[in-house]
Chain A
Amino acid sequence: MNVNRLPEGIFVIIIGLVTIWLSLGYSYMERFTPGPGFFPFWLGLLLTVLGFIMLVSSAAQVRTLRRQQVTSDSRPVGNEVTKEEPVIGASTPFTGWSDLSKVFAALIILVLLVLAMDWLGTTISVALFTILLIWFLNPRVSWKIVLGTGVLVAVASYLLFVVTLEVPLPKGIFGF
C-alpha cells in the first residue's frame, strides 16, 4: 500500500478550486431561491476539503512510517506485518512504463477507429481495428484467425446494428 497521496490530494484540491471559481460565474442566489451556482459551489468546496484531508492524512502517515523505518531494525523477528506493507514513494498511477505504453497504444488504436469511421465507413474500420488490435495483443496468432475474426466482427456488427437496429452509423466513401 502506498501511503503517499500528496499528488492525488493536490489534484483533488485543484479540481475543487476550479469548480468553485467556475460556479462563481453562475448566480448563487436568485431572489430567495438558490440559483444555478449554489450546488456546484458547495460541491467544489467539499472537494477542496476532501483534498486537504487527503493531504493531511498522507503527510501524517508518511511521517509515522519514516519514524518506524528508522527504528525498524529493533522490530522483533516473527512479528512480520502480514498485510500489504505501506511504502513511502512517489505515488505513480501506473505499474510501469511498459504498461503505460500498452495503454496508450490501445487508446491510439481506438482513436484511429473513431477517426477512420467517417472516412472508410464503420464496417471497414471495424474490420481493420479488430485485425490491428488482435495483432497488437498477440502477434503470434495465425493470420487466418486474425483476418477471419476481423471480417466476422465487421459483418456481425453490420448485421446487428445497421440491418437489425437501424443505427445510422457513418458510411464513409464506400457507402457502408
Chain B
Amino acid sequence: MKSTPLFWALVAGVLFGFGLSLSAMVRPEVVLSFLRFKDLGLLLVLGGAVTVALLAFQLAPRLLDKPWFGQAFAKHPSTLNTRTIGGAAIFGIGWGLCGVCPGPAIAGLGSGNWPLLAALVAIFAGAWVQGRFFGR
C-alpha cells in the first residue's frame, strides 16, 4: 500500500480521536447516562457527525471525478439481513453494559483512560470469535 492513504488515514484519525475526546464519548459514564436518558448529548454528537459526513458522502462523488489523492470513492456496504440486525442487537447489549464502542476504546487510551484497555482487548477477542467461528 502506498503511503498517501496512510498519511490521510492518520490525519483523519487524529481529528476523529480529538472529536471523540472533546465530546466526552471516551467516557463510558457519559454514554451510559445517555442510554439512561440523563444526558442526551450523544444525540448531538451523532447528529453533528452525520450531518457533516452526509454532506461529504453525497457531494464529493457529484463534484469530483475521483478523490483528491485516491482512485475511486468507496461505498458503505450494508445489507438487510439477520446478521446485520442480530449483530446490532448484540452490539447494543454490550454497549449498554460497558458504555464503550470501538472508536472510543482506542481514542480513550490516548487521553489516558487506561481501564479502557480491558474493553479494547475484549473487543478484539469478540471480533476474533466472530470471524473464526461465525465468519462467512
A, B: real partners: no
Binding site for A on B (CB under 8 A): none
Binding site for B on A (CB under 8 A): none
